[in-house]
Amino acid sequence: MSAPLNTSLVRHSPSNGAGSPDVWGIYEPDTGSIQYICADPATKKAALIDVVWNLNPKNYRFSNESMDQVLGIVKEEGLSVEWVLDTHPHADHVMASAHLKERTGAPNAIGVLVPEIAKIWAVLYNLPDAFDPKRDFDHLFEEGETFKIGGLDAKVMLSPGHTLGSISYVCGDAAFVHDTLMQPDVGTSRSDFPGGNTMELWDSIQDILALPGSTRLYVGHDYGTKERKEPMWEATVEDHKANNIHVKDGTKRQDYIERRQTRDATLSLPDRILAALQINLRGGRIPSAEDDGNHYLKLPVNRFD
């Protein structure tokens, strides 16, 4: 995996007509993450998806550049925030969910199986009572559940594999598919974190690729390639079926599984994972201050290769 590209970009993908949202992608260069605004052009109601709360892993200080950038676009475009959404508890960045809820007044939401992810990490951190997603998120979306972004219909797809509780959001001809697919010239996302499963990731991707061919798929990360230096995050279902180097049409399930697992065995843990999950499983909240007024994280030692 290449180092994140040292550039910050914003791209607007306009609505294609009735039932189709405006989408803004905002690239976060430190983690190669893409944050999204999905808006109804008629009502100007919007959902914020997978927004980053910036963390410097060298000194563990937080800052709000990404949040401020996203909310700046919301203001410039005359939007109002109706939802604060995450697709899963991220391993490589800290979610801005709790702070965006406070700043916008909008409810925050994630998938219904996140409590199962919390159980895994409660054991790994030896923090049996630390995580309660039902407490820290206003809503846990079920598979197939529908909701509204302004006047637009949106639905939830359970997309396990990267994590056991990952979900995708489909709004008209836009689908936010997080850490399942990467760009077609990169392939797919890893499935080796605790609770991940390569076979389930394959099945989730097949469900995504069964969406209409013109559906715009928005991925969670891009790190560029040797040939492509500029970050990208949008491609259609048709693009992926024709060109995705891991799962294009004609790819056999077992060949994909072997290729994905071989690749995952070479990958190291993201540098923020042990901090990020301890915060993200609290909805983006750091642990309560201790008696000295400071906040502390608990990190397992010698637990991971």
From first to last of its 305 residues, the chain has per-residue pLDDT tens of 444 444 569 999 999 999 999 999 999 999 999 999 999 999 999 999 999 999 999 999 999 999 999 999 999 999 999 999 999 999 999 999 999 999 999 999 999 999 999 999 999 999 999 999 999 999 999 999 999 999 999 999 999 999 999 999 999 999 999 999 999 999 999 999 999 999 999 999 999 999 999 999 999 999 999 999 899 999 999 999 999 999 999 999 999 999 999 999 999 999 999 999 999 999 999 999 999 999 999 999 998 87
In a domain, 217, yes or no: yes
pLDDT at 75: 98
**CATH number of the domain to which 193 belongs:** 3.60.15.10
| C-alpha 220, offset from chain centre | 5
Contact criterion met (CB below 8 Å) for 19 and 82: no
In a domain, 283, yes or no: no
Domain that holds residue 143: 10-267
In a domain, 297, yes or no: no
Q: In sequence order, what are the beta bridge partners of 175?
A: 170, 217
Q: Is 195 exposed, middle or buried (0-12, 13-18, 19+ CB in 10 A)?
A: buried
Contact criterion met (CB below 8 Å) for 98 and 64: no
In a domain, 230, yes or no: yes
In a domain, 203, yes or no: yes
pLDDT at 8: 65
Residues written for the chain = 305
Contact criterion met (CB below 8 Å) for 40 and 30: no
* Count of structural domains within the chain: 1
pLDDT at 3: 45
Contact criterion met (CB below 8 Å) for 144 and 304: no
Task: Read off the pTM.
Answer: 0.96
pLDDT at 2: 45
Task: State the Cα–Cα distance between residues 54 and 56, nearest whole angstrom.
Answer: 7
In a domain, 302, yes or no: no
With a CB cutoff of 8 Å and minimum separation 6, the contacts of 229 are 5
Structure tokens at 106: 């909008």
In a domain, 287, yes or no: no
Structure tokens at 112: 């219904």
pLDDT at 292: 97
Tally the C-alpha atoms within 13 A of residue 170's C-alpha that lie toward its C-beta: 19
Q: Is 31 exposed, middle or buried (0-12, 13-18, 19+ CB in 10 A)?
A: buried
Helices 97-104, 65-76: axis angle to 10 degrees equals 40
Three-state SS sequence of the chain? CCCCCCCCCEEEECCCCCCCCEEEEEEECCCCEEEEEEECCCCCEEEEECCEEEEECCCCEEECHHHHHHHHHHHHCCCEEEEEECCCCCCCCEECHHHHHHHHCCCEEEECCHHHHHHHHHHHHCCCCCCCHHHHCCEEECCCCEEEECCEEEEEEECCCCCCCCEEEEECCEEEEECCECCCCCCECCCCCCCCCHHHHHHHHHHHHCCCCCCEEEECECCCCCCCCCCCCEEEHHHHHHHCCCCCCCCCHHHHHHHHHHHHCCCCCCCCHHHHHHHHCCCCCCCCCCCCCCCCCCCCCCCCC
Q: Name the nearest CA neighbour of 172 among 214, 206, 204.
A: 214
In a domain, 276, yes or no: no
Neighbour count for residue 200 (Cβ, 10 Å) = 19
pLDDT at 249: 98
pLDDT at 1: 42
Tally the C-alpha atoms within 13 A of residue 280's C-alpha that lie toward its C-beta: 29
Tally the C-alpha atoms within 13 A of residue 188's C-alpha that lie toward its C-beta: 34
